Structure 1
Amino acid sequence: MAKKPEFFEDQKAQSRVKSTIVVKYFKAWAKIMAGQVQGAKDPRLAYIDLFCGPGKYEDGAVSTPLLIVEHVIGTPELRDKVIAVFNDADKERTAELDQNVKALPGIETLTHQPMIRTGEVDDVLVQEFASINMVPAFSFIDPFGYKGVTLELVEALMKGWGSDMVLFFPFDRINAALTNPKVTKHVDGLFGKERADRLRELTSGMHPENREALIIEEFAEALRERGYTYIIPYVFEYEQRDRTSHYLIFVTKHPLGYNIMKSIMYKASEDKNQGIARFGYVRSQADKTPLLSLLNRPLDDLCDELLECFAGRTLTMEAIHREHQKALGINPFIEKNYKDALNMLDAANKIVTNKPNRRKGTFADDIVVTFPRKEKK
């Protein structure tokens, strides 16, 4: 029997964080989508993991595939709707996952038993997904490298309505691969050939921090060009080195999913500046990387922006949050940040509310806020 990769020997802290983010989002996504497809001609939902592993680490820790299936088993409204599709290139890992799945209590209650296949993620598999009518799907693409991960794969899995994705982006390995002629095909598939060629030229001799910012920015832009408006990159650094290892990149077409994932990533973020989470790349320069620079904006900036955006208007906190999020697109702010900013503005007498005597530190969704008009210059 082939030796398992070291990755499966014991679960590292970063793997726990990654799994927590994916599972929490699946739970929220599945609850919403189950209501959306209730009564539909085809009420199925899909969870897709194309680099699944065996489901457990050697230390006994349960990984994402089993946590997902356990949740489906334990949620009556999902048992007849969710199809879990697992794939791995290693037959020993898929055989072990099959055993682990079958051993789950209540597995027999599922209408759709998990589908477990063994094979490479290649052009044939991409075409297979591209050729079928996809039900709403949440996909977790977590390879050990980047082979098989292409823009075409993202498009094939995201083409259906209600479909979202979390994608593992091994920055350190991709950074090294840009100038390696042996893996040109894989890098071209990840960015698109024209963009990859431009990256190779632009990053030559570039400072490492700027190089990182540009690579992530270009990948995010490649996704946005395909209509995936809402993207969040969540950075992981090496445990023993102050250097980026990889990113989790969340991709969705809907602002609701975007806001849900931001809240999940916010709670999973250790580094916060004035309550604004560092779940994305924060050292980028605004003129070179406008998408990612929006992920490094402290609360003071939000206060100033609200005064500018809503000058002379009166509206509720809920409407402020909803309207501003829609206008900003990619950004790091969650609902709590808006309430904190409005409390700061209120304390500084820069806004007027209809409940000035509320409990300190609170700001309910229905509180009405009046912003001052812009001063004439």
Structure 2
Amino acid sequence: MARTGESDTVWELKPHTSAKHDLLTGYLKGWFPILSRWNDRIVFLDGFAGPGVYKNGEPGSPTKALEVLLSHRHLPAMTNKTFVFLFNEAEPDRHESLNAVVQEFIASHQPWPSNIKVQVAGDSFENVAEGILAHLDEQKRNLAPTFAFVDPFGLKGLPMDLLRRLLSFDRCELFVYFDFNTVNRFASAGNIDDRLTELFGTDRFKDAAGLAGPERKKFLHDLYQSQLIEACGFPFVKSFEMVNETGHTGYYLFYGTRHVTGLRVMKDAMWKVDPGGGEKFSDVLAGIPVLFGDEVDTEPLQIDLAQHFKGQTVSIELLEHYVLTETPYAASHLKKLTLKPMQIAGQITCVNQARRNTYPPGTQVVFPG
């Protein structure tokens, strides 16, 4: 059977893939120390790890993830924690390449820390996930805090029900590839409905039949997002759009978590990749000098806050939670970039503020009626 995606063992690193790696490593820099504070064992699962290297020698996601931990400034404080990296690649030639790349990486970083465990598997993601679940059931144990990076080619091997069962434990998180281009082409065709039903965990994708353009795009995006929330039990889900070299949406990356702290870290990573909006990367614009500054436009957020909290006195903590969970903005955009100009303009006041234009914990912000 012909495999999906690239035909060669290794292939060229495209700009959107590099941006995806930046999102991943940007998040892991915050995730490793946060999880290690409260947990003795932490798992990073790369379900479709690929060959581990690109055509011109650029590192793949497995060694990039390892490098984040090995070079982390907090690593000395995490030596009493166990970090498990499970890299899986089903294609035999790519698995062989992956294993060689990982072993070479370990050999070049001696002495290797005894608390960092690395496993390379060569099976389908479904079989690996089912194996993990069977082992947990046999041992009557829960899965350790896990970040599952699930980045396949196409639609196959990504059942919503499997994601639900594997990541049902409280501190498990998901970073998953959603092949919008393929879903959009076949959602109304009727010839791969079984696979799409498996992907979405529902057949409601068929309702896209009467839709077109932006409306159809939003429907399919929102349906997958709602399934991650409702079926998988992730209350916080955030997507990032990848635009291909033709200017069309190729895919989305969806991040799912049960903890607002994780959402905070991922949003920071997304805004670093896309300083203009925190939601999109385009191959078309890759490498082209930006014609505008990276200054974030918070005027829409100022208007939103003024309308939503009109006539209320609210804590800075509540405002941060609202910004994180209900807007595209990051928490870092709230104080200096949003509340400060609003206070200077007389649009808000603070009843317990020790110093004007600063908003420490406990600050109460007054929005006039």
Q: TM-score surpassing 0.5?
A: yes
Q: Which has the higher contact order (CA 8 A, sep 6+)?
A: 2
Sort the Cα spacing of 1:357 and 1:242 in 2 relative to 1 into closer, same or farther, 3 A.
same
Sort the Cα spacing of 1:7 and 1:76 in 2 relative to 1 into closer, same or farther, 3 A.
farther
Q: Would you say the 8 A contact 1:50–1:142 is kept in 2?
A: yes
Partner of 1:147: 156
> How far is the alpha carbon of 1:72 from its aligned partner?
3.1
Partner of 2:18: 16
- Specify the code of the residue in structure 1 equivalent to 2:244: Y
Q: Would you say the 8 A contact 1:231–1:330 is kept in 2?
A: no
- Specify the code of the residue in structure 2 equivalent to 1:189: E
> How far is the alpha carbon of 1:348 from its aligned partner?
1.7
1:41-190 equivalence runs, <5 A: 43-74=40-71, 75-78=75-78, 80-104=81-105, 105-106=108-109, 108-122=112-126, 124-131=127-134, 132=136, 133-190=142-199
* In 1, Cα distance between equivalents of 2:312 and 2:190: 57
* In 1, Cα distance between equivalents of 2:176 and 2:365: 41
Q: Which moved more, 1:339-348 or 1:50-59?
A: 339-348
Partner of 1:303: 302
RMSD across aligned C-alpha pairs, in angstroms?
2.9
Partner of 2:284: none
- Specify the code of the residue in structure 2 equivalent to 1:128: G
- Specify the code of the residue in structure 2 equivalent to 1:85: L
SS in 1 for 2:117: coil
- Specify the code of the residue in structure 1 equivalent to 2:182: R
Partner of 2:331: 335
Partner of 1:295: none
Q: Would you say the 8 A contact 2:188–2:208 is kept in 1?
A: no
* In 1, Cα distance between equivalents of 2:248 and 2:9: 20
- Specify the code of the residue in structure 1 equivalent to 2:236: Y
- TM-score, with normalisation over the residues of structure 1? 0.80
Corresponding pairs, count: 336
* In 2, Cα distance between equivalents of 1:161 and 1:212: 31
* In 2, Cα distance between equivalents of 1:366 and 1:136: 29
* In 1, Cα distance between equivalents of 2:90 and 2:132: 17
SS in 1 for 2:154: coil
Q: Which moved more, 1:48-57 or 1:93-102?
A: 93-102
- Specify the code of the residue in structure 2 equivalent to 1:238: N
Sort the Cα spacing of 1:125 and 1:64 in 2 relative to 1 into closer, same or farther, 3 A.
closer
Gaps of 5+ in 2: 137-141, 282-296
> How far is the alpha carbon of 1:255 from its aligned partner?
0.8
1:371 aligns with 2:366: yes
1:315-330 equivalence runs, <5 A: 318-325=316-323, 329-330=325-326
> How far is the alpha carbon of 1:114 from its aligned partner?
1.3
State, as a whole percentage, how many aligned pairs show the same letter. Answer: 21
Sort the Cα spacing of 1:314 and 1:213 in 2 relative to 1 into closer, same or farther, 3 A.
closer
Sort the Cα spacing of 1:158 and 1:204 in 2 relative to 1 into closer, same or farther, 3 A.
same
Q: Would you say the 8 A contact 2:9–2:51 is kept in 1?
A: no
SS in 2 for 1:113: strand
* In 1, Cα distance between equivalents of 2:69 and 2:363: 40
